[in-house]
A and B are shown apart, each in its own frame.
Chain A
Amino acid sequence: KNQVEQSPQSLIILEGKNCTLQCNYTVSPFSNLRWYKQDTGRGPVSLTIMTFSENTKSNGRYTATLDADTKQSSLHITASQLSDSASYICVVTDRGSTLGRLYFGRGTQLTVWP
């Protein structure tokens, strides 16, 4: 069964600190993995997209890693800001699907305190 599991479920950190969010998946065959940021009351916005051959990809203060062998990904946020408070969702695409079918994790709710 194709699944995406994220941890922790929620996280609280102080402004300026770093944090790492985890994503484990069983989706096969694997196509790509995305991290989305979803602000409260808004739709998800794509942060990064990684393919099978990519190990690391950065987008500003966000750095995503992917280990396709262990089927794990992480999202590292550096020097957190209050605006980073949001839900971070890991999304994996099935390569066997030509219709872009996505499998979503439940997200990690990040709260950054001043």
Chain B
Amino acid sequence: GAGVSQSPSNKVTEKGKDVELRCDPISGHTALYWYRQSLGQGLEFLIYFQGNSAPDKSGLPSDRFSAERTGGSVSTLTIQRTQQEDSAVYLCASSSNSGGPWETQYFGPGTRLLVL
């Protein structure tokens, strides 16, 4: 596709349930990022994938959060045993080449998660 796509667009779930959020990066982009944007807050880095290297998971807030990237393309962010404070917009971004400081990150539209 022309840009980064994410699904679902919106997700409402009950506290304690698991959710999976999907990101399809721009074709050919080797770097993929997940961010969280809570209401009234700035974007918060969660996890970073670059090619076949081990991901940088340093931003994940707890062990309930995990992510994988299959085949160097599609990524899935999983939140287990969701809590109300997990409610936020989850944004995915991808960039080409090294994914270093000079690469522009292209963002998807986000998945709006509401935990009741």
Contact = CB atoms under 8 A, between A and B. Distances in A.
A8 interface: no
Contacts of B42: 4, 89, 104-107
A46 B105 CA distance: 8
A49 B48 CA distance: 21
B104 interface: yes
Given A89-B42, A100-B31, A102-B45, A32 B101 contact: yes
A64 B48 CA distance: 28
Given A32-B101, A43-B93, A49-B104, A101 B110 contact: no
Nearest to B9: A41
Interface residues of A, number: 25
Interface string A39-56: 001111110010000000
B108 A100 contact: no
A22 to B, nearest CB: 15
Interface in B1-35: 4, 31, 33, 35
Contacts of B33: 100
Contacts of B103: 100
Contacts of B45: 101-102
B99 A99 contact: yes
A80 interface: no
Given A43-B91, A101-B45, A95 B4 contact: no
B101 A42 contact: no
B103 to A, nearest CB: 6
A82 B103 CA distance: 30
Interface in B21-69: 31, 33, 35, 40-45, 48, 50, 56
B76 interface: no
B109 A100 contact: no
B109 A41 contact: yes
Contact of B107 (A31, A43, A106): A43
Interface in A50-100: 89, 93-95, 97-100
Interface of A: 4, 31-32, 34, 41-46, 49, 89, 93-95, 97-102, 104-107
